[in-house]
Structure 1
Amino acid sequence: MPIIPDEKDWTWVLSRPCPECSFDASTVTPVTVAGSVANMLPRWRAVLRRPEVTERPDANTWSALEYACHVRDVFALFDQRLNLMLGSEDARFENWDQDRTAVEKDYAGADPAVVSAELTAEGEQIAASFAGVREEDWVRTGLRGNGSKFTVLTLSQYFLHDVVHHLHDVDG
């Protein structure tokens, strides 16, 4: 059964803590981004080893496997966005339809072991990319298709919230 699309604008997490997962963007600094990603990877791998990883808790909620597939793709997407911001002035990137991607890539039918390896590789890549950002580049800007403006720092904060929030979603 398809999931009801999440059409919320989550950029509010940049100005106040998330009441659901307790993520506080103000605690994210250029020094902490890469380590935060690296520290979450073992937790995601543990989630993917659960026997019930493919089971949806209800008809309107992704399974832990589907969330892990989403996070794998978030890692890749934000690595692309980061590199776009670092490579061009006032980079522009399209909105992403995560629900369409879930259907097109058959998140529900994915192999948890394969997803674990892919999520780890993509997570290590985005951590390395953030670790390589030069001090003067954290203020570079990008604009999402819906008009949301980011600096490299606020992009990292927004990105980390997504990964932390979904770990919370799956009790990881």
Structure 2
Amino acid sequence: MTSEPTTAPAAAPSAAPIPTIEPDTKDWTWVLREPCPECGFAAADVDVHAVGGTVRDLTPRWISALSRADARVRPEPTVWSTLEYGAHVRDVLRIFDERLRLLLEEDDPLFPNWDQDATALEDRYDLQDPVVVADELADAADAIAARFDTVRPDQTERPGRRSNGSVFTVRTLGQYFLHDVVHHLHDVRA
């Protein structure tokens, strides 16, 4: 892992190209079976009925990280800044809220594809306003937490699929999703 940057915060952002980050092509579904060696999160231990409360508990840590003076600074040219991770997590919250909605309302839905790396480039995560991202992240966290709060015991095993064939249930979607939120807090040391 990289250390905290010691440089001064970056000047006002520009639309200049930024060094690209190699796309993450790993299939992270393995975190449903074993603890993550990087962040220590054990997704299999998560009770789906606790996901909403956990998201609410984690949100202030994201808000605090995004308010850091160096939130825009990449610790290394090919490692996302806290701002970029925050924008990604905001979008994860939104995407998984929609996936959870599909699981709860449809029978065995196929989730729309989402290319997180393309989104980061197209939406220029690096140029977004950390204050706006923090507000949007908080709103998205409230929305998905509220939806997880509505999950009934008889809904936890409702299935859905990604286009690559990975099958999720409401329970495993919550576990997988929560790992993403926690893991990226680890990435930004928050």
TM-score normalised by length of structure 2 = 0.89
Whether contact under 8 Å (2:111, 2:163) holds in the other structure is yes
Whether contact under 8 Å (2:49, 2:151) holds in the other structure is no
| Residue 151 (structure 1) aligns with | 169
Q: What whole-Å deviation, never above 9, does each CA across 1:48-88 have from its counterpart, x for those lacking one?
A: 11111001111211000000000000000000000011111
User: What is the deviation of 1:104?
Assistant: 1.2
Whether contact under 8 Å (1:95, 1:146) holds in the other structure is no
Matches of 2:33 and 2:165, distance apart in 1: 17
From 35, 38, 41, the counterpart of 2:59: 41
| Residue 111 (structure 1) aligns with | 129
| Residue 143 (structure 2) aligns with | 125
Matches of 1:12 and 1:24, distance apart in 2: 11
> Is it true that 1:77 corresponds to 2:95 in the alignment?
yes
| Residue 5 (structure 1) aligns with | 23
Whether contact under 8 Å (1:16, 1:24) holds in the other structure is yes
Whether contact under 8 Å (2:48, 2:175) holds in the other structure is no
| Residue 7 (structure 2) aligns with | none
Amino acid at match of 2:58: M
Structure 1 segments (4+ residues) deviating >3 Å: none
From 59, 77, 97, the counterpart of 2:115: 97
Matches of 1:66 and 1:149, distance apart in 2: 28
Name the SS of the counterpart of 2:49 in structure 1: coil
Matches of 1:81 and 1:26, distance apart in 2: 19
Name the SS of the counterpart of 1:31 in structure 2: helix
| Residue 187 (structure 2) aligns with | 169
User: Which structure is larger by alpha-carbon Rg, 1 or 2?
Assistant: 2
Matches of 1:4 and 1:59, distance apart in 2: 11
Name the SS of the counterpart of 2:161 in structure 1: strand
Name the SS of the counterpart of 1:113 in structure 2: helix
| Residue 30 (structure 1) aligns with | 48
Q: What whole-Å deviation, never above 9, does each CA across 1:3-45 have from its counterpart, x for those lacking one?
A: 1100000000000000000000122102211111001100000
Matches of 1:69 and 1:81, distance apart in 2: 18
Matches of 1:103 and 1:41, distance apart in 2: 24
Matches of 2:165 and 2:122, distance apart in 1: 26
| Residue 38 (structure 2) aligns with | 20
Matches of 1:50 and 1:145, distance apart in 2: 37
88-97 or 122-131, which moves further after superposition?
88-97
From 138, 143, 153, the counterpart of 2:156: 138
RMSD (Å) for aligned C-alpha atoms: 0.7
91-100 or 71-80, which moves further after superposition?
91-100
Name the SS of the counterpart of 2:110 in structure 1: strand
